[in-house]
Structure formats: C-alpha cells, structure tokens
Amino acid sequence: MTYQPRFIFLLILAVFSLMFILSLPVQAVSAPVPSNKTQFCLGCHSQLNPGLVSDWENSRHSWMTPQKALEKDKLKRRFSAENIPTELKDKTVGCAECHLLNPEKHKDTFNHNGQKVHTIVSPQDCATCHPKEHAQYKKNKMSFAYKNLVNNLVYDMIISTSNGLLDYDPKEGISKLKEPDRLSNEDSCLFCHGTKVKVTGIVDRNTPMGTMEFADLQGWPNQGVGRINPDGSLGSCSACHARHEFSIAMARQPHTCSECHKGPDVPAYKVYEVSKHGNIFFSRANKWNLDPVPWTVGQDFTSPSCASCHVSLLVQKGGSLIINRSHQMNDRLYSRIFGLPYAHPQPKSPDTSIIKNKSGLPLPTELSGEPVDTFLIGKQEQESRKKQMKKVCLSCHSAQWTDNHFIKLDRSLETTNHMTKQATKILKTAWQEGLAKGLSAEDSITNELIELQWVEQWLFYGNSIRFASAMAGADYGVFANGRWYQHKNLRIMIDRLKNLRQRAKGSN
C-alpha cells in the first residue's frame, strides 16, 4: 500500500470535480440531477474515460428519475418495479446508483476513494428497478448459457475439439488433443455464453491518479448472456443493452442479436438478411422510430426485427395490445430448431444440464431421433406458444399465410431430422465396426473426421435449413449453407465409411 500519492490524487480529484461541476449547464431547479456520489465519480471518469461517460450522458438513465418514470402509464413504463428504494427515487441513474448497489453481495467489491464499488453491475443489481425482466430472464435458456454448456458432456467435447491444442507427431502418427485453456475458451465459446467471473484478489494498479486498489477479475472482460457474476447472479444485461447507453432502440436492432447469432450454428442474422423482413428493415429502418414504449406496429416500424417477434411489447395504432414484452423469449417458441442433434419441443426448464436421454447422454433427443419427452414441453404448451407467435405474424399477414408458413417449417423439421438420422446411422456403424472410437471406447464423439462431419450435419446444415425456414430466408438454406451441403455432407460420410472399411481391410 502506498499512501503518499493519495494526497496528490485528492488534489487532482478536487480540481477535476470542480472543472466538471463548472462545465454542467445551468439548469432549472426542477431538472433531475445526478446524485452527489455520481458527480464525484464523474469528476475523474469524464476525463479518464470520456467515451464511457458520453455514452451514459446519451442514455435515458442520465436525465430520468425512477420517481418520474413511476408516474407514467403502465404500458409506457420502461421498468417494472412498483417500489423503488427511497434513496434512488429522485436522482438520475448514474455511476453510483448501480456500481454501489448491494456491496455486501458482490465479491468484486473494493474500496475506491472511500466507496464500496463493484466493477460488474449484475442482473441482480438491475432488478432493483427491472425486477420483472430479471424474473423472466431467469426462465430464459440464455441465462443458463454458461452452465448448460460447460456441464454438458457432448458440448464439452465440441469445445475441446474447437479450442484444444492438437499435438501431432507425423513420424509416429500419434495425435494428442490437450484440454483447452481458460483464455482460449473465454475468447471463443464463452464470449457469447458468458464466463465464470472470479475475484482472485485485490491488486494495486498504477493509474493517472496514482496507485489504487482494484478487485482483480478473472474471466473479465465478458458480456456473455449466461455469465456467472461475482454476486452469483446469471447473465449480463449489457449483452443486448450495450453499456453505458442501455438503449432499447439498439436492443431492438438485429445487429445486436447478430453478435452471437450469425455463425453457421445459429445463423439467424444471415437468414434475416435474405428475408423480406430483413430487406424492409435494412431499406427502411433509418426512418423508423425504434425507441418508443410501447412499440406501435405499422407506425413506429413496418417490419419485424428479431426483438419484435421474440421480445417486444407490441401495440397497434390506437394502443390496443398485440403481445406482451417477454425476456423469457421462448414463451413464443414451440420448437427448438437448434438440433441436439435433432429439432425437438422446447425444454421445460432453462437449465438443460438436467436432461438425460435413454442412453445416458445429456441430449434432449435419442441418437435415433425420439425426443426425451419428460424434459420437454407437451403438445398443448407447444400449441399455446405457436398461437402467441402467430399474434405477431397476424399483424401483417392473413391467417392462411401464417398457417401455411408454419406447415412449411414443420416439414423442414422433419426433413432435416431425417437427414441427421442418416448421418447418425453412418456414425454408429463406424463405431460398431471399430472404425471410429465413440463413447463405448471412452473417446470423444467429436474428434475424428467422420465425427466432425456428423456434428456439421446437424449443427451447421440442419440448423441453417431450419432457421432459413423459420424466418423465411430461403436463399440461405439452399446453396449458401443448407440443403446442398446437407446432402453433400452425407455423401462425404458415406464415402468416408467406405474408406475406413478399406483401410481396416488393408491393415489386416
């Protein structure tokens, strides 16, 4: 601990704070102001991180108070709390209001100029004003994105295959796949899924203000949707509501979802780009009003973005409700088109790590294709969810249009499942004949060429075709990354099986 620089620091701080206060526009008494604590923060940080502070200044948080928000009509409110702690009511929502919340719950709390500050504002902190959104999000599989990934044997194998270092000795022909390191995982899968943030201690850092203490964080930076926060809560609101503007207008744009839904495993954005919906968005959205709550179909926007169908509170002109806001998201989804390895009804619990199929694998379907009913929603719930989604469709489309769309989707689920089944038969045969090493040989099922091809069959091609069908962006599902390759990949697997058999014969 160094004490001397503190004095210098306090001096600098005083000067900066004064400068900042003098720079504030003269305002009428009634205009909401930041709390004293927040003004203290801004004193330094508006100089140190000007972009960060500007972002906040552009945010609704910077000029609105919870009290004023509470006075609004319910449908127009952007938060769900009925009671706000008194000390937060009358000030704008600034640095201090969030970064000083619940210090006792935060393992990342540290002393910062006499305040108990934490770096990571968690969903639990946000829930102070947004409790309903938090409660809904807890039922969203996304909040379990870390847990469901790392606690699942099959996913874990895919992580190892992608991120592990392979050592190969070409003379001996021996390959060894090492377990991936933490940094590699955090720079790939966990970037979207979320990291487990650990506080490894309190460290001194040199800063422009002198040496200061900070909580040292492992797994940070990260904004993954299933992040395990130092206060034990799950997720990161800023995954979609980017810091420090926390804009609903941004979360409503497909660019936000595209951060994690663009790859061939979940190509929602790619499909949107070739859909009529996407065309209208990209051609017209610069004239839309992306900010209002509630969001009026046809008036504020003229084509759905991801949020319109999956999250947003929608009304029609005049204000009658079309559909309620949902941060659970899958309450409008009847099938899970992300195959594991087959498309299947949505799981009941967001925690999918509890799922086991008959052969003991942590998958919602058998390898032969049957869904593992116990863990999945039933027909009635499926119908009810489909009906919810159709409410959105019917805003612009006729019932016949809408019904026929879902009939086509259901057929795509069947055909892609069929093609996955053929691939699985080939793989199982390879295992049975000893041409590849599967679980019974206590080996990974995603590390040999024929296994990689099997994974691609459902993870890339099956998923792509289903997304293209669900979101009416056919072009992506044919030649770009869909039906053509789904067939070709099967031919490659058939050929591979032949090859492996020949090799086996040759070596006898």
Residues 277-296 within binding reach of a second copy (CB under 8 A): 278-280, 282-284, 286
Radius of gyration for the alpha carbons in the chain, expressed in angstroms and rounded: 26
Select from 74-82, 261-269, 364-372, 374-382 the region that touches a second copy (CB under 8 A): 261-269
Asked whether position 157 contacts a second copy by CB under 8 A, the answer is no
Asked whether position 57 contacts a second copy by CB under 8 A, the answer is yes
DSSP secondary structure letter of residue 305: -
Contact 457, 491 (CB under 8 A): no
Contact 194, 145 (CB under 8 A): yes
Asked whether position 173 contacts a second copy by CB under 8 A, the answer is yes
Contact 177, 85 (CB under 8 A): no
Residue from the set 111, 168, 370, 374 that interacts with a second copy by CB under 8 A: 168
The C-alpha torsion from 340 through 344 and 347 to 352, rounded to 10°, is -10
Residue from the set 12, 52, 64, 439 that interacts with a second copy by CB under 8 A: 52
Minimum distance between the CB of residue 354 and a second copy, rounded to whole angstroms? 26
Look up residue 456 and give its two tokens: 């691609």
Minimum distance between the CB of residue 110 and a second copy, rounded to whole angstroms? 11
Minimum distance between the CB of residue 482 and a second copy, rounded to whole angstroms? 7
Asked whether position 399 contacts a second copy by CB under 8 A, the answer is yes
Residue from the set 97, 186, 231, 331 that interacts with a second copy by CB under 8 A: 186
What b/e string do you get for 428-455 counting C-beta neighbours within 10 Å, with b at 16 or more?
eebbeeebbbbeeeeebbbbbebbebbb
Residue from the set 26, 27, 87, 170 that interacts with a second copy by CB under 8 A: 170
Secondary structure tally for the chain: helices H, strands E: 23, 11
Number of residues that bind a second copy (CB under 8 A): 134
Look up residue 382 and give its two tokens: 């499926």
By beta-carbon proximity to a second copy, the closer residue of 264 and 371 is 264
Asked whether position 360 contacts a second copy by CB under 8 A, the answer is no
Backbone angles phi, psi at 228, to 5 degrees: -95, 110
For residue 301, the cross-strand partners are 297
Query: Which residues does 214 contact at the CB level (< 8 Å), separation at least 6?
Result: 110, 112, 119, 202, 203, 204, 205
Residue from the set 35, 62, 152, 223 that interacts with a second copy by CB under 8 A: 223
Asked whether position 426 contacts a second copy by CB under 8 A, the answer is yes
Asked whether position 387 contacts a second copy by CB under 8 A, the answer is no
DSSP secondary structure letter of residue 74: G
By beta-carbon proximity to a second copy, the closer residue of 68 and 498 is 498
Asked whether position 491 contacts a second copy by CB under 8 A, the answer is yes
- Whole-angstrom distance, CA of residue 442 vs CA of residue 416: 29
Residues 459-488 within binding reach of a second copy (CB under 8 A): 459-460, 468-469, 472-480, 482-484, 487-488
Asked whether position 299 contacts a second copy by CB under 8 A, the answer is yes
Residues 91-120 within binding reach of a second copy (CB under 8 A): 119
Residue from the set 90, 216, 291, 351 that interacts with a second copy by CB under 8 A: 216
C-beta pairs of 282-290 under 8 Å, 24+ apart in sequence: 285/253, 290/248, 290/249, 290/252, 290/253
